[in-house]
Amino acid sequence: MVGATEIVREPYLVIHKDPSSFKDVYGGAGDNVAAECMRICPAGTTAESVVIFSHPIGGGAFLPLVSALARAGQHVIYCNTRYRGNDTALIMEKCAADLGACVEHARRKFGYKRVILGGWSGGGSLSLFYQDQAEHPTITHTPAGDPYDLTKKALPPADGIMLLAAHVSRAITLTEWMDPSITDETRPFVRDPELNIYDPACPAQPPYTDAFVARFRAAQLARNRRITAWVKDTLEKLRKAGEDNAERAFTVHGTMANVCWTDPAQDPSDRKPYTCYLGEPRIANDGPVGLARFTTLRSWLSQWGYDTTRADGLGNASRISCPVLVINNTADLACTPSHARRLFDAVGHSRKAYRDIQGADHYYIERPDLLPQAVKVCAGWMAEEALSG
């Protein structure tokens, strides 16, 4: 199987029952939920192991690394959650349920004996959250207090996790990218010049002092918590008014203001300075595709709230027992090296490995020549952990 180049792509649906008191995705019939999946594997092969990728908003079946793993002989499944392409109302607990349905289907339908979760980018914290709940099911309600019982889902645990260019969690990443110069969410374009790193009048200029970075980080966390407090208060008022299932959508401006985008000395790496994976940080800060730009009350608490999300990659990693591989792409413009190191350090057992792919970008689009190296690391680790075959 080594060196296989011809791959086949098999799209299919995994449909599972998931009752809900109200709909948070477009379409669908009754309580049926559909997870769009794609199996990618070398033509004419069978395997006992499969790497299952999933991401909260999906869309990665054609990622270079996904295809490269298949071309190298590995069977791969990409599982899109019900929120594919739109995280406005996304609930992380429901993403875990969709991933669980995909894992169960892969074992039952295709006969795979071993499942390795491919946690690429935001899929890293989803994989860790999933495994944590599969091994230690505890969740019976969402962070908003809505009934949602993962303990009754019987999530099948994976046999291993590969964290590939992954970040620590959506909530922590958002918080570290939030623009702390916004002090009033009702007036998002009136900004504190002392914390506005995109304002030439800001008295703090790179390279930043430790004192400024500490103040900046504290203000970012305070902003996240202010939004959380408003969300909780709004939900409480709706429920007191007898509107238990009522929702509210809102906009969060200024979510691409990490000091590492304007000061290369922060979280140093091989990345191109003064840019981010969405282009020019100053423009992306208020652009339409920024993290959490459009969200809802319940979704904020589940995926973006620093203190409320259960998809906390670091906490989840500390509780799981399966082997873990962490790969850091040293020129990554999204997930900087501290994310990989924090994830590795958080894993609470010794069956873990850390590898750098020197010069690799987030998507391997700029450096496709480094894909073979990443694939070799993955294959070697799976062999060492008796997960391949």
Q: Does 122 have pLDDT greater than 70?
A: yes
Residue 2 clears pLDDT 60, i.e. is over it? no
Query: 165 pLDDT exceeds 80?
Result: yes
pLDDT at 195: 98
Mean pLDDT within 74-86: 97
pLDDT of residue 28: 64
Q: How confident is the model at residue 3 (pLDDT cuts 50, 70, 90)?
A: very low
- Taking only the tens place, the pLDDT of each residue in 322-358 is 999 999 999 999 999 999 999 999 999 999 999 999 9
> What DSSP designation does 304 have?
I
pLDDT number for residue 22 = 79
Residue 63 pLDDT > 70, yes or no? yes
Neighbours of 74 (CB within 10 A): 26
Q: What local confidence, expressed as pLDDT, does residue 306 receive?
A: 98
> What pairs with residue 120 in β-bridges?
164
In the sheet where 160-164 sits, what is the strand order?
A: 7-17, 32-42, 76-80, 49-55, 114-120, 160-164, 324-329, 352-357
Q: Grade residue 23 by pLDDT with cuts at 50, 70 and 90.
A: confident
For residues 257-280, average pLDDT: 96
Please confirm whether the linkage preceding 143 is cis (ω < 30° from 0): no
| Residue 299 structure tokens | 């979704």
**Fold for domain 7-169+310-384?**
Rossmann fold (3.40.50)
Cα–Cα distance for residue pair 331/373, rounded to 1 Å: 15
Supply the pLDDT for residue 26.
80
**Annotated domain spans of the chain:** 7-169+310-384, 173-304
The pLDDT mean for the chain works out to 96
Taking only the tens place, the pLDDT of each residue in 205-240 is: 999 999 999 999 999 999 999 999 999 999 999 999
For residue 187, give every residue at least 6 positions away whose Cβ sits within 8 Å of its Cβ, in sequence order, or none: none
Terminal Cα distance for the chain, rounded: 10
pLDDT at 29: 66
Average pLDDT on 260-279 reads 96
For the cut 70, the answer to whether the pLDDT of residue 4 exceeds it is: no
- Alpha-helix residue ranges (DSSP H) falling in 305-358: 313-319, 337-346
- pLDDT grade for 31, boundaries at 50, 70 and 90: confident
Q: Is the pLDDT of residue 194 over 90?
A: yes
Place of tokens 């006992």: 48
Q: Give the mean pLDDT of 165-184.
A: 98
How many alpha carbons lie under 13 Å from residue 341 in its C-beta half-sphere? Answer: 7
